A = this chain, B = another copy of it.
């Protein structure tokens, strides 16, 4: 009787369950369930009250509904019996974080708090804590906190501490009643097995856990005296990735149709599990999860501090290595913007534009773009930056612009790779996962621009497969994640190799990209920041 595992990928708008055969990683069934409330950005459903700008909440019960619907549906589709399933694993967006009671009850499910926006899940893209992040960063640099270097010098407004500080200062009562402040990744595992666990990945990348501790009480007191004991809401032993969090509770077994006691893996993050899914855990093999944005993860053999990276965490991708993460905040989003809002009639199609762009010799469009349509969270870590295109002429055509946009994101990745290499973290080859990997032109551009061989993840469901691999390890089917990934992971290496002639021309364009990047992103000319201020002031006046 074949053994199976279930991986569940909790995304921004829906959750996907994937049933995978332990012996060889074959995917035998999958199902998606959309969150009923989606992303809560305009008004709080419970009361209809409007939310301030830049807020993004979720309702945690929507995550339970994924367990109730997607998992049974995937099992049905796979045509297997519950007793064949030996483990269940999850991955989640991050930092997606919520306040709960000591028993894991979300505060938004406590009756007198249902009308409080701060009692809900703050989704990763809740961006209203920027002022709090700014203070966190300023104080960290002032006090020369050792941990700040582990995050490229900047803590994001998206992460646990910034969101918690906003909670404290905007709704102190909800803050006080929050006995736990927990990543949704860990919370859903808690729902599955009835036991609170905390995984090293989110604790390290999103929770500023470094060298065995969170930021100090002294530091937190200086941020706000009432924030002094914040860490008590987080503190808990951390679990390595792929370890067993517990067994499925009777309640969760009823939701999912699986057997009580089925092994549940500790929580994990979408991009990070994808490295396992693509069997790219070896140092120097960088995984790019390319969708609306790109997340870059790569294991390294030594600890280094890389300017602008999102973070480095011991065992953050897999045990026994330093896991590095970096990101680009706009990639597919920019191409989508062009198609949806900027492409002329007849060109509003990625296929048409790609086909025409592929005909252009490198550099023939005469353009360079900076890929900052959604700010920059790479080396500059500034959400107020914006994009640009230079070199426009009366002869510029849609495919020229589209190609320049594709290239600009490749230049952004090259800049990240160079920052890693300068810090001593090798990046020898690229493995791409995510929706954009199907664009052959884009893939070839990345290979040429970075002068790296580029492989493709073999599964279209990278994160869910990665979660399933971790489930297999948690179930004891494999000794560790690396050996499970060897068997269950899927990748085609060297699918694209760099062409030296094209790479040489790209060197010229990249030099222009880098010069503009530094001029406009590092204080040479703060025009983009001033334009944002003018824009915001104009929008307020109107």
Task: Give CA–CA (A531, B365) in the complex, Å.
Answer: 9
Question: Are A527 and B512 interface neighbours, CB within 8 A?
Answer: yes
Question: Are A525 and B534 interface neighbours, CB within 8 A?
Answer: no
Task: Give CA–CA (A527, B367) in the complex, Å.
Answer: 10
Question: Are A341 and B397 interface neighbours, CB within 8 A?
Answer: yes
Task: Give CA–CA (A397, B541) in the complex, Å.
Answer: 19
Which residues does chain B contribute within 8 Å of A366, judged by CB atoms? Answer: 386, 531-532, 534-535
Question: Are A391 and B386 interface neighbours, CB within 8 A?
Answer: yes
Cβ of A396 < 8 Å from any Cβ of B? yes
In the assembled complex, the CB of A388 is this many whole angstroms from the nearest CB of chain B, namely 4
Cβ of A497 < 8 Å from any Cβ of B? no
A519-B525, A528-B391 as given contacts; A344 in contact with B348, CB under 8 Å:
yes
Which residues does chain B contribute within 8 Å of A396, judged by CB atoms? Answer: 337, 341-342, 373
Task: Give CA–CA (A374, B392) in the complex, Å.
Answer: 9
Which residues does chain B contribute within 8 Å of A525, judged by CB atoms? Answer: 515-516, 519
Identify which of B364, B388, B515, B541 contacts A391 (C-beta below 8 A).
Answer: B388
Which residues does chain B contribute within 8 Å of A373, judged by CB atoms? Answer: 392-394, 396
Task: Give CA–CA (A163, B334) in the complex, Å.
Answer: 45
A330-B394, A344-B348, A368-B531 as given contacts; A388 in contact with B387, CB under 8 Å:
no
Q: Which B residue sits closest to A362, measured CB to CB?
A: B538
Q: Which B residue sits closest to A534, measured CB to CB?
A: B363
Which residues does chain B contribute within 8 Å of A535, judged by CB atoms? Answer: 363-366, 391
Which residues does chain B contribute within 8 Å of A368, judged by CB atoms? Answer: 527, 531
Which residues does chain B contribute within 8 Å of A512, judged by CB atoms? Answer: 527, 530-531
Identify which of B388, B516, B519, B542 contacts A389 (C-beta below 8 A).
Answer: B388
Cβ of A398 < 8 Å from any Cβ of B? yes
Task: Give CA–CA (A537, B539) in the complex, Å.
Answer: 44
Task: Give CA–CA (A185, B63) in the complex, Å.
Answer: 78
Cβ of A425 < 8 Å from any Cβ of B? no
Task: Give CA–CA (A365, B386) in the complex, Å.
Answer: 12
In the assembled complex, the CB of A222 is this many whole angstroms from the nearest CB of chain B, namely 35
A341-B398, A508-B534 as given contacts; A393 in contact with B389, CB under 8 Å:
no
Which residues does chain B contribute within 8 Å of A392, judged by CB atoms? Answer: 373, 386-389
Question: Are B505 and A538 interface neighbours, CB within 8 A?
Answer: yes
Cβ of A254 < 8 Å from any Cβ of B? no
In the assembled complex, the CB of A384 is this many whole angstroms from the nearest CB of chain B, namely 10
In the assembled complex, the CB of A209 is this many whole angstroms from the nearest CB of chain B, namely 32
Question: 1/0 per position for A385-422, CB-CB distance to B under 8 A?
Answer: 01111111110111001000000000000000000000
Question: Are A390 and B386 interface neighbours, CB within 8 A?
Answer: yes
Cβ of A333 < 8 Å from any Cβ of B? yes
Which residues of chain A from 60 to 94 have any CB-CB distance to chain B below 8 Å in the complex? none
Question: Are A541 and B345 interface neighbours, CB within 8 A?
Answer: no
Task: Give CA–CA (A333, B394) in the complex, Å.
Answer: 7
Cβ of A22 < 8 Å from any Cβ of B? no
A-B CB contact pairs (8 Å), 18 listed: A337-B396, A341-B398, A342-B398, A344-B348, A345-B348, A361-B538, A364-B538, A365-B535, A366-B535, A368-B527, A373-B396, A374-B394, A386-B391, A388-B391, A388-B392, A390-B531, A512-B527, A515-B527
| Given A337-B394, A512-B527, 9 more pairs with CB closer than 8 A | A334-B394, A363-B537, A364-B535, A366-B532, A388-B391, A388-B392, A389-B389, A391-B532, A509-B531
